[in-house]
Amino acid sequence: MTKENKYDVVILGGGAAGLFCAFETAKKGYKVVVLEKSNKVGKKILMSGGGRCNFTNRNVYPHNFLSKNKHFSKSALSRYTSQDFIALVESHDIEYEERKHGQLFCINSAKDIVNMLLDECNSANVEIITNATPSNVKFNRIDGQYSLNTDIKEKNNNSTLKITSSALVIATGALSVPTLGGSGYGYDLAKQFNLDVIDLHAGLVPFMFSDHLKSLCENLSGVSHAVSVTCNNITFTEDMLFTHRGLSGPAILQISNYWSLGDEISINLFPDFDIHQHILNCKKDTPKQKLKSTISSLLPRAFGEQLELLLWFELADLPLGEWSNNQIESVCKKLHAWNVKPSSTEGYRTAEVTLFGIDTKHISSKTMEVIGQKGLYFVGEVLDVTGHLGGYNFQWAWSSAYAAASDL
C-alpha cells in the first residue's frame, strides 16, 4: 500500500541533531516529519555517558573540535551555545551535575534528555515515524521539491509512504556503533548530490595490540591509572584503562583522534609527579628496598608487577642501594615516556564518533545548507566536525541543528 504525503521539511534521522532540528523548525509553524530507521529514536543518546548522557560541556571552544576547516564550527557554536542548551534542560526541570573538565551529565538517566526532545517535538506537532527506511531520494529542479519513498515496517503490515517537501535535512549520524543505528547512508546521499566525503575513520575509540602488549593488557584488564598520552605533538591527561583487547579510558579515547596506523603513542605514567627524585630519595632512605616496592603506592599493584617484567626485569632483585644513578635515570625515562605502538583500533563497533565526513567546503557554516543546492541541509556527526570527549559532540549536534532550523 502506497500513500502520498507532503511536508514542509523532512528530517532523516531521529538522533540528537535530527530531533532538535525538528522541533526548532516546527515552532515556526512548518509541517515537519522525522524519519528514523530504528524502532525508536534517540538510541545513541540513551547509551551515552554510561546511561547518564554527557549532554554538553561548560566550556565549548572551536579548538575542542577537529575538522579540515578548523573555522567551520565557529558560527554555529556561537549562535547556539552550551548555556543555551543548559537553559533548555533547566526549563524541563532535569537534574544534572558537573563533573571534571566541565562535563555535564544527567543525574538520573539519559532518558531525561530523550524525553525532553520528544516533549518539545510533541509541543511543536512534529510527526515522528520509526522503522522507516527512506530510498529513491530525488530533487526536482523545476518546482524545487524533494521526493523520496519510505518503507515503513509495522506490526501487521508494511507500507510505503511517498513523501515530497521543499527542504530535506540529513541528520543520519555516521558509522560509529552500528548496533545503535550508525550507518553510512548520509554519506551516500552526499555523494548522490556530488559532495566530497573526506576519508572516514573511527574516533574516540580504544586501541588494540598484536605484540607482547596484548597479553600484558589481558593480564591488567580492568586496571586504570591517571596518565598523560602524547601522539603527533598532542597530549591529553586523563585516566587510562586496560582492557582484554588493549587500552581504553578517556586519555586513550581522546588521543585516538590524532593517531594514524603506524604511529607510536607515548605514555607518561607519572605526569604530575617527579618519579626520578622520589626513587633517588628512596635509594638514600631505604636502600634495601626493591624498585617495585618503592613505587607500589603510586601505581596499581598488578600494573607495577607487569612494568617490572617489562622495563627492569634484569634489575628486579637488586636493592635500590645497589642501583647506579644512570640505571635509575634510564628506568625513569621509560616511566615518563612508555612508548607503545597500537596495531589497530577497535573500529566503528565501539567508536563513539566517526572522524572526518562530508567536506565542509560544500556547506554554509551559518546555515548548514549545501552551497548551490537549495533546501538540502546536513547537520551533526555526518559532517567533517568531530568534538573531543566530554559533551562536545552533543553540543555540535544541538548547534548545527539550530543553525539549520534558523534558516528553514
What is the structure's pLDDT at 2? Answer: 59
In this structure, what C-alpha cell is assigned to residue 115?
524525553
**Could you tell me the three cell numbers for 144?**
524545487
Measure the CA–CA gap between 34 and 403, rounded to whole angstroms.
17
With H, G, I as helix, E, B as strand and everything else as coil, classify residue 262: coil
Alpha carbons within 13 A on the beta-carbon side of 403: 28
CA angle 259–264–269, rounded 5-degree value = 105
- The Cα 175–Cα 34 span in angstroms is 20
Q: How far, in Å, CA of 25 to CA of 72, rounded?
A: 22
* pLDDT at position 154: 82
Cell match 554510561: residue? 50
Tens digit of pLDDT per residue, the chain (408 long)?
557 799 999 999 999 999 999 999 999 999 999 999 999 999 999 999 999 999 999 999 999 999 999 999 999 999 999 999 999 999 999 999 999 999 999 999 999 999 999 999 999 999 999 999 999 999 999 999 999 999 998 877 888 999 999 999 999 999 998 877 888 999 999 999 999 999 999 999 999 999 989 999 999 999 999 999 999 999 999 999 999 999 999 999 999 999 999 999 999 999 999 999 999 999 999 999 999 999 988 999 999 999 999 999 999 999 999 999 999 999 999 999 999 999 999 999 999 999 999 999 999 999 999 999 999 999 999 999 999 999 999 999 999 999 999 999
User: How far out from the chain centre does Cα 55 lie?
Assistant: 12
CA distance 314 to 307: 12
What does the chain come to in residues? 408
Question: What residues pair up with 7 in beta bridges, in sequence order?
Answer: 165
Q: HSE on the CB side for 12, CA within 13 Å?
A: 31
Provide the 10 A C-beta neighbour count for residue 262. Answer: 8
Query: 146 CB contacts (<8 Å, ≥6 apart)?
Result: 10, 137, 138, 139, 140, 164, 165, 166, 167, 168, 375, 376
- Under 8 Å between Cβ of 198 and 384: yes
User: Partners of 363 in the beta sheet?
Assistant: 370
Q: What is residue 191's predicted lDDT score, i.e. its pLDDT?
A: 97
Number of H helices, E strands in the chain: 13, 21
Q: Quick one: how far is CA 381 from the chain centroid?
A: 9
**Cα separation, 47 vs 286, whole angstroms:** 50
| Contact call for residues 302 and 225 (beta carbons, < 8 A) | no
Q: 253 φ, ψ to 5°? A: -60, -45
pTM confidence score? 0.95
Cell of 242: 586496560
Nearest to 165 by CA among 188, 145, 135, 180: 145
